[in-house]
Amino acid sequence: MLSTHPKLSGRLGVRIEAQAPANRKYDLDNVPKAVLDSITYSGLWGDDSQIDELTVIRLPPIKGGRLHVKIRTIE
């Protein structure tokens, strides 16, 4: 575990905004698996099975590419 912060507990919602570095085809459904597995490995949460809501959005390409991830707890 890499994180020095307490793990997020409870039910979670995740929003991922993906911008590719170039205007090329890519499967949007491949993005969340890598992102969620990386966050799990970092130790931010116990397991990605805590996620009850997942939104993945493709935005226009941007130089260098970009991923923006927002995590919130669900009451």
Give the tens place of pLDDT for each residue, 51-67.
999 999 999 999 999 99
Beta-sheet pairing, 51-58 with 12-19 = parallel
Please tell me the CATH code under which domain 12-73 is placed: 3.30.1330.70
Tell me how far CA of residue 67 lies from CA of 4, 16, 19, in angstroms. 23, 7, 6
Angle among Cα 40, 17, 29 to the nearest 5 degrees reads: 70
* Model confidence band, residue 75 (pLDDT cutoffs 50, 70, 90): confident
List CB contacts of 2: < 8 A, sequence separation 6 or more.
41, 42, 43
The pLDDT of residue 5 is 72
Domain boundaries, the chain: 12-73
Instruction: Point out which residues pair with 73 in neighbouring strands.
Output: 12
pLDDT at 25: 85
1-20 pLDDT, tens digit each: 455 677 899 999 999 999 99
